[in-house]
Amino acid sequence: MKVVEGISALRSQVRAWRAAGERVVLVPTMGNLHAGHLRLVEVGREHGERIVASVFVNPTQFGAGEDFDKYPRTLDADAKGLQGAGADLLFAPPTEAIYPGGVASATIVEPPPELANILCGAFRPGHFRGVATVVAKLFNLVQPDVAVFGEKDFQQLMIIRRLTTDLNFPIDIVGVPTVREADGLAMSSRNGYLSVDERAIAPALHGCLVDAADRLRAGVLIDDVECGTIRAVDGAGLRCEYVSVRRAADLGDPGPSDKNLVILVAARLGAARLIDNLRCNLN
Amino acid sequence: MKVVEGISALRSQVRAWRAAGERVVLVPTMGNLHAGHLRLVEVGREHGERIVASVFVNPTQFGAGEDFDKYPRTLDADAKGLQGAGADLLFAPPTEAIYPGGVASATIVEPPPELANILCGAFRPGHFRGVATVVAKLFNLVQPDVAVFGEKDFQQLMIIRRLTTDLNFPIDIVGVPTVREADGLAMSSRNGYLSVDERAIAPALHGCLVDAADRLRAGVLIDDVECGTIRAVDGAGLRCEYVSVRRAADLGDPGPSDKNLVILVAARLGAARLIDNLRCNLN
């Protein structure tokens, strides 16, 4: 596996693969990789011959007071993991390569507010603008045929699908189901912020989603499920930010005829902000 | 010259050219072509083997009450002109191809406010957002090696250069000097809105810029040049929107040591809004 920091080296390698008729798959990450990321690489291999994984902790998607500074940088371990999972190239650029005009004032990609200002966007203003902007940059830098994202970040995945369609990127977006620990906790770099006691509490988040899905399938009203799940998350020892039942297709508010739903949750636990979601099909 | 409306036909032709090692040059236009546009094609031919010209009247760069509805659509004549100038493909998409998610709510590309909210941007709120968004789309649709824009739209060209750098598009941006009528009037589709009497007045706009450049080189203070030029434009029978002397490199306000300047003007004349600019080097 090649490790590349510079844009011209990245571009010439990708160009050579494309010239040889190979499909290029991008797996964008912020590093500090776990089995969930490595699963993205594995799924990526089913969609093309060459995997470019990127590791870049994107400053513009962190708000003031968020964990940009302490977000774990573990490039050597990440490189080993990616090589083991079958990546062909690790692109680990410096910030100046991704933000050549500086971070402060530059052209940005603004996702539609009805997708970007709800759920996590309401608690992290500007977060999805930063995500959309850096993803557009990575798309232009790598020019992949396929890009792979985890469904754990369900709202992000939806915004990236919209971005890809809206801006006419010729890229297939592949979503990969969340990888979980044995106790149900969704894998996340931010699980590393948890103390031992907090780690024991954290799986309750997934448990609450499973209960919520059961209640929805049993015919309980959405409002009641949402309120009950918020109480359950708080009761388990987390501090719930939101629980919301949405249409899985577009994150809109479900009407009586909508059967294909997703339950999304965000909660704080110690120094960590955890998110999770669960699809719930009422048919 | 091929005429193509659909995205898949466009992409397969461009892919074939690239596979043959040919450089692809994009010349984006809103149609109603004049000699200035055809000059873009001629210059484009110096930068690559294949020219894709696009004709698309982009709704999102027109404000309420502007001339979107009456903007001239002259595709047959445009096709003849482009073929004569040596274009290889004319891409003339329907609005649904460029805005697959609709025009109303979609991912947008937002240029930096210090470039987009000044000069024409102050008089046309949202205009450069619409320009940046459609240019990003065209870049992703055509994936050219080079894109050619006229210097008559100086602020637009600057915003597109920033967009290209900021979003890491692997595209060289080429600016082409303004083509003028014999009497100095900058060629523009909107000159067609002028009555015979107005057409006789319009060249004064260029004349005022030439005078302004002379005064700057003679050492007259910028504020005095701007005020005097506004009076001159109004005195010639136009209604001046702005006259502004800026740094040519970034449209910033010039300081005493800045020598590489541009004088920009916008004025209304009958149903037309005319813009023009003139570089002025003080060395």
Please indicate, yes or no, whether residues A152 and A264 belong to a single structural domain of this protein: no
User: Is the pLDDT score of A125 beyond 90?
Assistant: yes
Q: Name the domain boundary from A144, A176, A208.
A: A176
Reduce the secondary structure of chain A to three states and give it as a string. Answer: CEEECCHHHHHHHHHHHHHCCCCEEEEEECCCCCHHHHHHHHHHHCCCCEEEEEECCCHHHCCCCCCCCCCCCCHHHHHHHHHHHCCCEEECCCHHHHCCCCCCCCCEEECCHHHHCCCHHHHCCCHHHHHHHHHHHHHHHHCCCEEEEECCCHHHHHHHHHHHHHCCCCCEEEEECCCECCCCCECCHHHHHCCHHHHHHCCHHHHHHHHHHHHHHCCCCHHHHHHHHHHHHHHCCCEEEEEEEEECCCCCCCCCCCCEEEEEEEEEECCEEEEEEEEEECC
The domain of A76 spans 2-176
Give me the pLDDT at residue B12, please: 97
User: Is the pLDDT score of B105 beyond 80?
Assistant: no
Give me the pLDDT at residue A103, please: 86
User: Is the pLDDT score of B283 beyond 90?
Assistant: no
With contacts defined as CB-CB under 8 Å, which chain B residues touch A169? 140
With contacts defined as CB-CB under 8 Å, which chain A residues touch B114? 105
Please indicate, yes or no, whether residues B148 and B92 belong to a single structural domain of this protein: yes
Please indicate, yes or no, whether residues A97 and A160 belong to a single structural domain of this protein: yes
Give me the pLDDT at residue B104, please: 82
Please indicate, yes or no, whether residues A194 and A150 belong to a single structural domain of this protein: no
Is A34 a member of any domain?
A: yes
User: Is the pLDDT score of A105 beyond 80?
Assistant: no
Q: Considering A34, A37, A47, A127, which one is annotated as catalytic?
A: A37
Please indicate, yes or no, whether residues A149 and A223 belong to a single structural domain of this protein: no
B→A interface, C-beta within 8 Å: 7, 11, 19, 98-101, 105-114, 132-133, 136-137, 140-141, 143, 162-163, 165-170
Give me the pLDDT at residue B165, please: 95
In this structure, are residues B52 and B26 in contact, taking their beta carbons and an 8 Å threshold?
yes
Is A59 a member of any domain?
A: yes
Quick check: B107 and A110 CB within 8 A?
yes
* Residue type (1 letter), B198: E
With contacts defined as CB-CB under 8 Å, which chain A residues touch B136? 136, 167
Average pLDDT over residues B46-55: 98
Give me the pLDDT at residue B230, please: 98
Number of A/B CB contacts below 8 angstroms equals: 87
Quick one: pLDDT band at residue B76, thresholds 50, 70, 90? very high
User: Is the pLDDT score of A15 beyond 80?
Assistant: yes
Q: Is B34 a catalytic residue?
A: no
Give me the pLDDT at residue B101, please: 79
Quick one: pLDDT band at residue A122, thresholds 50, 70, 90? very high
Please indicate, yes or no, whether residues B133 and B8 belong to a single structural domain of this protein: yes
Token pair of A5 as six digits: 């920091």
Average pLDDT over residues A1-9: 97
User: Is the pLDDT score of B151 beyond 80?
Assistant: yes
Give the Cβ contact number of residue B32 at 10 Å. Answer: 19
Quick check: A114 and B105 CB within 8 A?
yes
Helix A35-45 with A75-85: angle, nearest 10 deg: 40
User: Is the pLDDT score of B237 beyond 90?
Assistant: yes
Residue A201 φ then ψ, to 5°: -80, -35
With contacts defined as CB-CB under 8 Å, which chain B residues touch A112? 101, 105-107
Contacting residues for A234 by C-beta, under 8 A, at least 6 apart: A240
Across all residues in chain A, what is the average pLDDT?
97
| β-bridge partners, B97 | none
Please indicate, yes or no, whether residues B218 and B262 belong to a single structural domain of this protein: yes
Is B283 a member of any domain?
A: no
Give me the pLDDT at residue B100, please: 86
Selected for mutation to probe chain B from A13, A14, A18, A107 (highest B CB count within 10 Å) is A107
Give me the pLDDT at residue B47, please: 98
> Which chain B residue lies closest to A101 (C-alpha atoms)?
B166
User: Is the pLDDT score of A67 beyond 80?
Assistant: yes
Is A243 a member of any domain?
A: yes
Give me the pLDDT at residue A165, please: 95
Please indicate, yes or no, whether residues A139 and A202 belong to a single structural domain of this protein: no
Please indicate, yes or no, whether residues A170 and A251 belong to a single structural domain of this protein: no
User: Is the pLDDT score of B203 beyond 90?
Assistant: yes
Q: Name the domain boundary from B176, B208, B224.
A: B176
With contacts defined as CB-CB under 8 Å, which chain A residues touch B21? none
Distance from CA of A84 to the nearest CA of B (A): 30
Average pLDDT over residues B88-97: 97
Is B282 a member of any domain?
A: no
Please indicate, yes or no, whether residues A216 and A270 belong to a single structural domain of this protein: yes
Query: Is ipTM beyond 0.90?
Result: yes
Contacting residues for B181 by C-beta, under 8 A, at least 6 apart: B187, B203
Quick check: B140 and A169 CB within 8 A?
yes
Compute the distance between CA of residue A154 and CA of residue A273 in angstroms, rounded to an integer.
15
Quick one: pLDDT band at residue A283, thresholds 50, 70, 90? confident
Residue in A11, A101, A167 closest to B107 by CB: A167
Give me the pLDDT at residue A11, please: 97
Average pLDDT over residues A165-172: 96
Please indicate, yes or no, whether residues A122 and A172 belong to a single structural domain of this protein: yes
With contacts defined as CB-CB under 8 Å, which chain B residues touch A11? 170
Is B145 a member of any domain?
A: yes
Is B26 a member of any domain?
A: yes
Strand order in the sheet with B239-247: B239-247, B260-269, B272-281
Token pair of A25 as six digits: 């798959």
Number of domains in chain A: 2
Quick one: pLDDT band at residue B115, thresholds 50, 70, 90? very high
User: Is the pLDDT score of A273 beyond 90?
Assistant: yes
Token pair of A132 as six digits: 């959309």
> Which chain A residue lies closest to B102 (C-alpha atoms)?
A166
Look up the pTM and report it: 0.96
CATH of the domain at A92: 3.40.50.620
Give the Cβ contact number of residue B200 at 10 Å. Answer: 12
Q: Name the domain boundary from B176, B203, B238.
A: B176
Give me the pLDDT at residue A121, please: 98
Quick check: A108 and B105 CB within 8 A?
no
Is A69 a member of any domain?
A: yes
Distance from CA of A141 to the nearest CA of B (A): 6
Selected for mutation to probe chain A from B161, B168, B169 (highest A CB count within 10 Å) is B168
Please indicate, yes or no, whether residues A164 and A230 belong to a single structural domain of this protein: no
With contacts defined as CB-CB under 8 Å, which chain A residues touch B165? 100-101
Residue in A99, A107, A170 closest to B163 by CB: A107
User: Is the pLDDT score of A104 beyond 90?
Assistant: no
CATH of the domain at B212: 3.30.1300.10
Selected for mutation to probe chain A from B140, B141, B162 (highest A CB count within 10 Å) is B140
